[in-house]
Structure 1
Amino acid sequence: MIDKEELLNNKEFYKSFKSGEDLTSFFKTMHKRAVEHMLEAELDAHLDNEKHEKTKDGNYRNGHGTKKIKSSFGESEIKVPRDREGSFEPALVPKKHNIIDGLENIIISFYAKGMSVSDIEEQIKEMYDFDISTSTISRITNAVASEVVAWQNRPLDDLYLIVWMDGIVFKVRENSKVINKTIYLAVGLNREGRKEVLGMWLGKNESSSFWMSVLTDLKARGVEDILITATDNLNGFTGTIRSIFPESQTQICVVHQIRNACKYVVCVNSHINTPSNSH
C-alpha cells in the first residue's frame, strides 16, 4: 500500500516527477499532430476539387514526404502528404517555407475542452487568412475536431500518484483582435513515474462548478483515485476535490514555473524545489 505522507516527504518521488519531458515538449507534440492533420485535410480538399475539373487522368495520394518546421516550441519533423501529379501546394506550410510563427497558441487551444467546433472553425479561418475556400475550411475543421475529441476522451489510468493543476494564459487572435484565454491543465504522474497531460480545459473563471466538471471528466475517463493533488490555491478547487476524490490529499504551493517557463516546480515541506536548485 502506498503511504501518502511518505510520498509528500520523499525527495526521490518528486525527483521522478520532475524528470522526463516537460510541458514544452508536450505542446510541441500536440502542435505537430494538429499541423499534420490539417495538411492531410488540405490534400483531401485539393484532390476533391480536381475531381470536378476536366483532367485526363485522376490525381491521387502518393505517400508522404518529411519536412522540418520551426515554431516557438522548437524544431519538429512533420509528415507532408503528396499527390501523384505534384500539384498540391500546402497553404499552412508552403513549399520552401519552414517557419510556423504566431499560430502555436491557437493550435494548442484546439485541444482544450470548452472550444466548440464553430470556435475551432473561426480560429482556422483566422489562421488561413481566408486564402482557401469555405469547403476546405470545413474539411480542415472536421479533421482537427476528430483528432481533438479522440485526445480529449481517451481513457486514463485508474490511479495517479500526484496530479498538478494550474492555468496558463495564451494570447490568441480572435475577430482580428488579440485576446487572453486561460487554459487549465491537469498533469498526472502515474505508477511508472511517467508524466502525462490528462486534459486541458478552457475556463472563463475559476469556480467550484468549473472544477467539479473537470474532476468529473477525469473520473468518467477512468480515474478512481488521486493520492495527492497540487495547486496554486486555485479558487474553488480545494473544496471540490474531496467531493469527487475523497481520499486525495491537497498540497498548496506556488506553481509559477508552469506559467513562466513550462517547467515543473515541486512543493516539499513548504519550500520550492526546482531543477536548478535541487540536488
Structure 2
Amino acid sequence: MICGILLIVWTIPSAENASAGESDPVLATAGALSAAGNFDAAITEYLRYLYFHPTAETIGGVYLNMGNVYLRLSDWENARDAFRRSIRFAPNDSLKNVRRLNLAIHSIAHKNYSLAVLELLKVASFSKQPHLRRKAGFYLGVANVYLLEFDQVEAALAPYFSKDSSDYGRKTWQRLQRLAGKGKTIHPRSPATAKWLSTVFPGLGQLYSGDFKNAVNALALNGLLGYGVTRAFLEQNYVDAVLEGVFLFQRYYMGNRVHAAQIARTRPIKKEKKIAEEILTELGKYLAHKR
C-alpha cells in the first residue's frame, strides 16, 4: 500500500549541504565520493570528520548528509539514527522542525509509522512556522491512513485543507471526509463468535462477518454433505455413510468453522486497507494537481 507521490522527501536547503562541504577538505571529499556513487567511502570520510571534529558547528549537516547516503545504501536503521542526530545538532528550532519532517517522511516510506507520528506531532504542535505545521498535519494524516486510524485521519488533515479554498481542494476534502467516515464505521468481528455460529449452523459465522458469498458456499457444501450421508444410511450403505461422515465432515464442516473465524479476523482489515488505498489515491491526485 504505497503511494509514491505522498512520500516526496522534504529536502533540506542545498545551501546547508554546500556550506558543510566547503568548510573542510574531508567533507568535500565525502561529498564528491557520494556524488560519484561511492557511498561506503563517503560514509568513511564523514565518520573521519566526526571523529576529529566532534564539537564542530557543522556536524548537524554532516549527520544529515550521512543519513541521505545511508538511504542510498538501503540502510534505514543507520539513516534513521543519523537523521535523529542531525535534529539534535540543528542550530535553531526552525531547522530542527524541517529535519523532523524529513525524518518523518522517510519513516513513513520505511513503514515506521509510530516514529513518523511522534515527529510530526512535535512539528504540528510546537513549530512557530505555519507552513511547517500545515505540512506536518498533512503527513500526520498520511501516517494515520497507513495505521488505519481513520478517526485520526480527518482530524490531522482538516487544518491543511481548511487553508485550501480552491474548488478542487474543497471537493477533494469532501471525498476524503466521506472515505474516512466509511473507515470509522468498520468494526472488527469476533473470531470466536463466528466459529461458534458456524458450529451451530454452517455459513452463519461467515454471514455474521459480512461475507455472504462464503456463507452460501459453506451452507451448500455442508448441506450436500448432510444429504449424502443421510441418503447412504437410508440405502443401508453404511460404509460409504461412515466414510463420508468422518472424512468429509472433517474437511467441510470443521473447515467451515475454521474458515468462519479466519474471515472474522481478516475481512475488516481487508476492507480498511481498501479504504486506506482509496484515501491515498485521492491524496496523490491532489498533490499531482498542485504541482
Same fold flag (TM > 0.5): no
Q: Looking at CA atoms only, which structure, 1 or 2, has the larger radius of gyration?
A: 2
Say which structure is richer in helix: 2
Say which structure is richer in strand: 1
